[in-house]
Amino acid sequence: MLKKLFALLAILLLTGCSARERAQPLAPDALPSQVPDLSGSYVVNGFDPLGTEYGGHLTIKPGPVEGEYLLQWIVVGSIQEGRGHVEGNQLIVEWHTVEGMAESQGTAVYTITQAGELYGYRMIQGEARKGTENAFPND
């Protein structure tokens, strides 16, 4: 009985530790006038338009114009790159596959939180459904 109790406690603790990977952003949405700098490294998780869960890594660097960013995802064995800009408290990105899985491209729209977390959706050109994606800063 004691082993079962410890096993249940371990499962609950592990679930709590991994909740950040699956949870919605932790901070309130940023005010459009107070969007934090998004440059950095992120942990990404989401569901593609077909409902398949994925995870990976996102790097965001400043672009050549203020408010513009260059993005690179490494997810599920592929590399995707994009260019985005901030509108209000949203980051709007046009992206495409660079290496790996089938060539695809699309648009991503993220809401930015006060902590620099991103949440929103990704669309693949030619696919009617949207996928969802969250990105949490590693810093």
The number of distinct structural domains making up the chain is 1
Of the two residues 91 and 11, the one the predictor is more confident about is 91
Q: Where are the beta strands (DSSP E) in 19-127?
A: 40-47, 53-62, 68-75, 78-87, 90-99, 105-112, 118-124
pLDDT single digits (tens) 28-79: 999 999 999 999 999 999 998 889 999 999 999 999 988 899 999 999 889 9
pLDDT band at 139 (very low <50, low <70, confident <90, very high): confident
**36: its two tokens:** 């934090």
Task: Express as a percent the part of the chain with pLDDT over 90.
Answer: 68
- Residue 37, Cα to own-chain centre: how many angstroms? 16
Q: Give the other-Cβ count within 10 Å of 28's Cβ.
A: 9
Domain ranges, residue 110? 2-137
Q: What is the CATH number of the domain that holds 103?
A: 2.40.128.120
Question: Which segment of 1-5, 21-25, 55-59, 84-88 scores lowest on mean pLDDT?
Answer: 1-5
